Amino acid sequence: MRLLLCTDGSPHGQAAIRFGAILGRRSPETTTVLGVVETPSFWQAENRSEASHIQRALEEARHLLAGAPEPRFKTRKGHAAEEILEEAASGDYDLVVVGARGRRGITRFLLGSTAERIARHAPVPVLIVKGVRDAMGRVLVCTAGKEPGMAAVECGGQAARLVGAEVTVLHVMSQIAGRPVLPPDVLEDLDAPARVLMEHHTPEGLCLEEALAILARLEVPARPMVRHGPVVEEILDEAQEGAHDLPVIGAHSTAGLMGLLLDDVAHQIISHADRPILVARPRREGSDG
């Protein structure tokens, strides 16, 4: 897995480096570490200070990636989102890792602004790091079927295979979707488990079967799970209750007035999660820049 780890030298930027390094240490590919410094001329003194923060951040990254293929180190000057997106487009990367917030809030890796802008426009999946976690032992792959859901399965499976993580494949049956279409004897159980849905070949069961087949191809053991209720709430609850280190979600991009955000479900999950979130979109959407 070819990683692009991004930092501005802030604690949030370094949290992204540390979490991303969990993958980088296990990857046979070279990891690239990108330090971004903003450059308004009237901040020259502050920029000198930031440059020293970046240098220390890159040195820490070198230490964290010890034992992995020798990493590449790059620095860019300019607006964080623009520079990260330009680097992501110019390189051959499989995953971009960024922090949720940076040194000056609204201008650096701001959740709902820069981080989501990167997640929407990057040509590859984006891992948004929130909080401080030192392990990636449990991965929660959230799928609703169709392309975004299967993109999440593929991307989450690749990350899990790299670090040997346990995988749970979660399908949320929302209140809008209603009950599964099952025989009368099964319908008595309103919380029909994943295996029952799969045995009766319901649309939800077929979605889980497809996800498990993708993970089997990647040689990643996984267990299916179904929850019932509001999608965002159920995903966040399962991430918490199941002690998952990394939820993985698929997202469509949106257009028009909401053009800098992902779809509403993904936006809400990213906004309310207290842990890293990996956002995957179908690759053919990644070129809408």
Boundary-marking domain end, from 129, 153, 176:
129
Average pLDDT score over residue span 151-161? 95
**Residue 166: φ, ψ to 5°:** -75, 145
Question: Are 172 and 142 spatial neighbours (Cβ–Cβ below 8 Å)?
Answer: yes
Beta carbons within 8 Å of 115's beta carbon, 6+ residues apart: 98, 99, 100, 109, 126, 128, 270
Residues 121 and 255 reside in one and the same domain: no
Residues 255 and 160 reside in one and the same domain: yes
- 34-65 pLDDT per residue, tens: 999 876 544 454 555 667 788 889 999 999 99
Average pLDDT score over residue span 75-103? 88
Residues 29 and 91 reside in one and the same domain: yes
Residues 119 and 176 reside in one and the same domain: no
Q: What is the pLDDT of residue 79?
A: 87
Residues 191 and 64 reside in one and the same domain: no
Residues 147 and 261 reside in one and the same domain: yes
Q: What is the pLDDT of residue 42?
A: 40
Residues 69 and 170 reside in one and the same domain: no
Q: Say if residue 93's pLDDT is above 80.
A: yes
Residues 111 and 202 reside in one and the same domain: no
Residues 121 and 142 reside in one and the same domain: no
Boundary-marking domain end, from 72, 101, 129:
129
Residues 117 and 213 reside in one and the same domain: no
**pLDDT band (50, 70, 90) for residue 9:** confident
Number of domains in the chain: 2
Residues 90 and 119 reside in one and the same domain: yes
Residues 277 and 186 reside in one and the same domain: yes
Boundary-marking domain end, from 129, 156, 182:
129
Which residue segment(s) compose the domain that 242 sits in?
138-288
CATH number of the domain residue 27 falls in: 3.40.50.620
| Percent of the chain's residues with pLDDT above 70 | 77
Average pLDDT score over residue span 231-253? 92
pTM equals 0.85
Q: What is the pLDDT of residue 132?
A: 85
Q: What is the DSSP string of 160-177?
A: HHHHT-EEEEEEEE-TTT
Q: What is the pLDDT of residue 228?
A: 85
Pairing of strands 126-129, 277-280: antiparallel
Angle, CA of 127, 133 and 134, to the nearest 5°: 110
* Widest Cα–Cα separation across the chain: 72
Residue 248: in which H helix or E strand, if any? strand 246-250
